[in-house]
Structures are given as structure tokens and as C-alpha cells.
């Protein structure tokens, strides 16, 4: 555990160091945030803030992992691959929303096709190469699955990735909640004896917290899809590698609430002939409209995420 924590601390320092040149680079090349018309009245002051800051997080994670956590640990190449492949689509999306001066990046249809192909590849690698074919059930223990594991893994990866992308919307919200999620799975991986996976997870925690140094309200940089998509996918991969993917909705309770609110809103809107259950979705916008400050929302969502992580770790221990 000491090694994992020290490497996580190193990742935090490197991320903080990388942060300023990242902000300078993004500002110089005018990779700046455009604000959706739907929320422009409340977030107009954020217009022009550098985005695509996820490269700060992921560059840090890749450097630290490459130095400290690859030797004789080839299974770490899987989350390494997931980050790199998903980063590509995130960068393309962010560039379309900035350089082309548009509020809209790649369509969700295109993203889903890409994520589906990538998720299938990861599912096949998990099942056939790494022989990760089980689910850990609280109290009941470990249960092995047949090839049905592959479509389950695909669904988990896609839903987690999309949910985390939806959550990204307020200063520090996704950064804080995702760091909590990785920390929870780091503890679980360490308890299992998967030290290499715990090191990778704490590396992600440190990298994300270094980004949060600049992303905390008022944010000097935004994560963008270049951060949200790879972070979501890598968290799903880590959960699958621990076998505790059933705990993802608990440890990632905030992501469930955010994405779930959007789905419920759409269903209710259609069934009620145009009525709305929430003022606006995802959920953090609802609380903005009813009067919560941005800091109140973010900190309270962090607390909910922290409770979910504690409960998730407790359930994992019972296996």
C-alpha cells in the first residue's frame, strides 16, 4: 500500500507541474470552451476557459504508469490502452467544439459506435487474454461466468463512460467524484492482492487531483471529453478487473443519479405530453435552477460519492 500511495502522490505532483503549461498551450491555440445556449445565463463567465484539460490527467497517468507500473505487469496495458484509445475520440470531439467555434462536437451516434467497438475489444481481451471471467457477490463470493461475460462487460464500459461524460458540467464535479471512485477501487484491488491495479488506480487519483488543483471553482481549465471519456472507460476497466463491477452503481452513485435523471426526464417528458420532472437535466443543473450555488452542489455531490465509496468498499470486504 505504501508504494501505491507514494506513486499516487508522485502523480499528483507531476500533474500539478504539467497543469500550467497545459493551460498555456490550450489558451495559445484557442482551445477554449463554448457554452451551450441552454445554460449560458448561469455559466456565461466560463466562456473562453481552456478545455480539453483531460490531456493533463491522462498524460500524467501514462507517464507515471510507464515508469513505475509496467514492468512484468502486462495486464496494466489494458487500462493503458483504454485510456489512449478513448483519449483520441475525446480530443477530436473537443477540437470540433472549439476550433470550429461550435457548441456541438461529434454526434452521440458516432461516439457510441466508437465506444462500442472499443468496448467489444476490451471485453474480448478481458475474457480470453486476462481470463477475467467472474463476478464477486457480497456474502455469496466469487461466481464464474461463461461467454455472457463479454456482452456484460461491453454494457458496463459503455454505460460508465457515458454516465461520467454526462456528469461533467460543474467546476470540480467530475474530477472529485471520479477520484473518489478510483480511490475506492484502489482499496478493493489492494485487499485482493492486485497491487499493480491498486497502483494504477492511485496513479489516476493523483493525476485527477492534480487537475482538480486548477479545475476547482472558479476553474482555470475544463476537462472536456478528452478527460471524461477516457476516465470513465478506465474506471469501468478497473472495476471489471477486480470482479466487483456490480458495485459500480454504488461507488459511482453520483454518475448513476446524473445519467439516470436525464433518462427519467426524457421518459417522463414523452409519457406526460411535455411535462418535466426536473427543472433541467442532468441533475446538477436542476439544483442550480432551484438556488444551490455551484460550490454547494459540487461539495454535496462529493459527499454522496464518498458515502457510496465507503459502502462499496464495505460490501467488497464481505466477499
Q: What is the pLDDT of residues 152-184, one digit of tens each?
A: 999 999 999 999 999 998 999 999 999 999 999
Question: Average pLDDT for residues 213-222, to the nearest whole number?
Answer: 95
Domain ranges of the chain: 2-246
Question: Average pLDDT for residues 211-223, to the nearest whole number?
Answer: 95
- The angle subtended at Cα 167 by Cα 36 and Cα 309, nearest 5°, is 165
Whole-number Cα distances in Å, 134 to 79, 126, 129, 151: 18, 10, 14, 13
Whether the predicted pLDDT of 42 surpasses 70 = no
Instruction: Give the model's confidence band at 228: pLDDT under 50 very low, under 70 low, under 90 confident, else very high.
Output: very high
- In this predicted structure, what is the pLDDT of residue 139? 79
Whether the predicted pLDDT of 206 surpasses 80 = yes
In this predicted model, what pLDDT tens digit does every residue of 45-99 receive, in sequence order?
Answer: 778 899 999 999 999 999 999 888 877 677 788 888 888 889 989 998 888 877 6
Whether the predicted pLDDT of 108 surpasses 60 = yes
Three-class HEC string of the chain = CHHHHHHHHHHHHHHHHHHHHHHHHHHHCCCECCCCCCCHHHHHHHCCCECCCHHHHHHHHHHHHHHHCCCCCHHHHHHHHHHHHHHHHHHHHHHHHHCCCCCCCCCHHHHHHHHHHHHHHHHHHHHHHCCCCEEEECCCEEEECCCCHHHHHHHHHHHHHHHHHHHCCCCCHHHHHHHHHHHHHHHHHHHHCCHHHHHHHHHHHHHHHHHHHHHCCCCCCCCCHHHHHHHHHHHHHHHHHHCCHHHHHHHCHHHHHHHHHHHHHHHHHHHCCCCCCCCCCCHHHHHHHCCCCHHHHHHHHHHHHHHHHHHHHHHHHCC
Instruction: Give the model's confidence band at 39: pLDDT under 50 very low, under 70 low, under 90 confident, else very high.
Output: low
> Is 122 in contact with 78 (CB distance < 8 Å)?
yes
- C-alpha–C-alpha distance, residues 54 and 40, integer Å: 23
Take residue 101 and report the three cell numbers written for it.
467555434
- In this predicted structure, what is the pLDDT of residue 104? 62
CA 127, 131, 134, 136 torsion: positive or negative?
negative
The partner residues of 136 in beta bridges, in order of sequence, read 142
- In this predicted structure, what is the pLDDT of residue 41? 61
Instruction: Give the model's confidence band at 195: pLDDT under 50 very low, under 70 low, under 90 confident, else very high.
Output: very high
Whether the predicted pLDDT of 1 surpasses 60 = yes
* Between 250 and 75, the higher pLDDT residue: 250
* Between 151 and 40, the higher pLDDT residue: 151
Instruction: Give the model's confidence band at 138: pLDDT under 50 very low, under 70 low, under 90 confident, else very high.
Output: confident
- In this predicted structure, what is the pLDDT of residue 43? 67
Produce one character per residue of 126-156: b if its CB has 16 or more CB atoms within 10 Å, e if not.
Answer: bbeeeebbbbbbeeeeeeeeeeebbeebbeb
Question: Average pLDDT for residues 258-279, to the nearest whole number?
Answer: 92
* Residue in the structure block whose three cell numbers are 436542476: 286
- In this predicted structure, what is the pLDDT of residue 232? 95
Whether the predicted pLDDT of 133 surpasses 90 = no
Return mean pLDDT, the chain.
90
- In this predicted structure, what is the pLDDT of residue 103? 56
Question: Average pLDDT for residues 285-307, to the nearest whole number?
Answer: 96
* Residue from 35, 33, 12, 34 nearest 23 by CA: 33
Question: Average pLDDT for residues 1-22, to the nearest whole number?
Answer: 94
Q: Which of 6-15, 135-144, 267-276, 292-301 has the lowest mean pLDDT?
A: 135-144
Q: Which of 10-19, 128-137, 197-206 has the lowest mean pLDDT?
A: 128-137
Amino acid at each position: 500500500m505504501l508504494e501505491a500511495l507514494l506513486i499516487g502522490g508522485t502523480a499528483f505532483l507531476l500533474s500539478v507541474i504539467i497543469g500550467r503549461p497545459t493551460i498555456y498551450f490550450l489558451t495559445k491555440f484557442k482551445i477554449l470552451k463554448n457554452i451551450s445556449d441552454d445554460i449560458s445565463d448561469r455559466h456565461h463567465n466560463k466562456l473562453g476557459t481552456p478545455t480539453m484539460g483531460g490531456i493533463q490527467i491522462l498524460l500524467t497517468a501514462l507517464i507515471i504508469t510507464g515508469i513505475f507500473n509496467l514492468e512484468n505487469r502486462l495486464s496494466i496495458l489494458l487500462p493503458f490502452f483504454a485510456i489512449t484509445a478513448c483519449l483520441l475520440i475525446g480530443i477530436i470531439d473537443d477540437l470540433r467544439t472549439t476550433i470550429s467555434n461550435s457548441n456541438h462536437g461529434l454526434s452521440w451516434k458516432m461516439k457510441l459506435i466508437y465506444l462500442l467497438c472499443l468496448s467489444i475489444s476490451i471485453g474480448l481481451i478481458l475474457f480470453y487474454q486476462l481470463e477475467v471471467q467472474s463476478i464477486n457477490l457480497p456474502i455469496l463470493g466469487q461466481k464464474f461466468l461463461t461467454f455472457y461475460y463479454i456482452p456484460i462487460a461491453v454494457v458496463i464500459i459503455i454505460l460508465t463512460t457515458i454516465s461520467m461524460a454526462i456528469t461533467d458540467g460543474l467546476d470540480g464535479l467530475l474530477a472529485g467524484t471520479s477520484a473518489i471512485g478510483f480511490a475506492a477501487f484502489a482499496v478493493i484491488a489492494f485487499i485482493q492482492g492486485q497491487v499493480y491495479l491498486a497502483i494504477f488506480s492511485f496513479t489516476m487519483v493523483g493525476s485527477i487531483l492534480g487537475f482538480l488543483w486548477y479545475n476547482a471553482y472558479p476553474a482555470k481549465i475544463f476537462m472536456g471529453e478528452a478527460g471524461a471519456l477516457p476516465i470513465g472507460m478506465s474506471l469501468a476497466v478497473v472495476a471489471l478487473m477486480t470482479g466487483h463491477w456490480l458495485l459500480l452503481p454504488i461507488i459511482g452513485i453520483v454518475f448513476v443519479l446524473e445519467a439516470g435523471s436525464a433518462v427519467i426526464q426524457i421518459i417522463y417528458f414523452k409519457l406526460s405530453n411535455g411535462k418535466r420532472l426536473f427543472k433541467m437535466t442532468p441533475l446538477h443543473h436542476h439544483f442550480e435552477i432551484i438556488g444551490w450555488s455551484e460550490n454547494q452542489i459540487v461539495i454535496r455531490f462529493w459527499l454522496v460519492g464518498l458515502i457510496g465509496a465507503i459502502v462499496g468498499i464495505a460490501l467488497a470486504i464481505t466477499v
